[in-house]
Amino acid sequence: QVKLVESGGGVVQSGMSLRLSCVASGFLSSIETMGWYRQAPGKQRELVANIDTDGSTNYGASVKGRFTVSRDNAKNTVYLQMVGLKSEDTGTYYCNVQGVRGAVYRNLEVWGQGTLVTVSS
């Protein structure tokens, strides 16, 4: 079983910064892709950013140039540094890992429970 624990959400003013963290724990040996999705009230969940084991990244169009995703493979942790936050960045941010390998699984996908980010204008 693999568990994700997110931290770092909160309430900030427009223009400020936040850093989210997500730690994966459990019976796993490697994780191919780690990243973040978000869901605003009344909207569909969307990709924010993800990063593969080789360091290649993908970003949602609305966050390019403002958000940076990174990971620490030794700690099974993914980070999301958010700068220049806007009110439209408000939502619940979900950690997501894909391609998790362990003793009994080879391609597991896991979602975190989400952490709320609120940006006030």
pLDDT at 30: 92
How far apart, in whole angstroms, are the C-alpha atoms of residue 102 and residue 108?
Answer: 9
Give the containing element (helix H, strand E) for 57.
Answer: strand 57-59
Query: What's residue 61's pLDDT?
Result: 97
Structural contact between residues 67 and 79, judged by C-beta atoms closer than 8 angstroms: no
Measure Cα distances from 100 to 1, 9, 26 in Å. 10, 25, 11
Tens digits of per-residue pLDDT, 8-64? 999 999 999 999 999 999 989 899 999 999 999 899 999 999 999 999 999 999 999
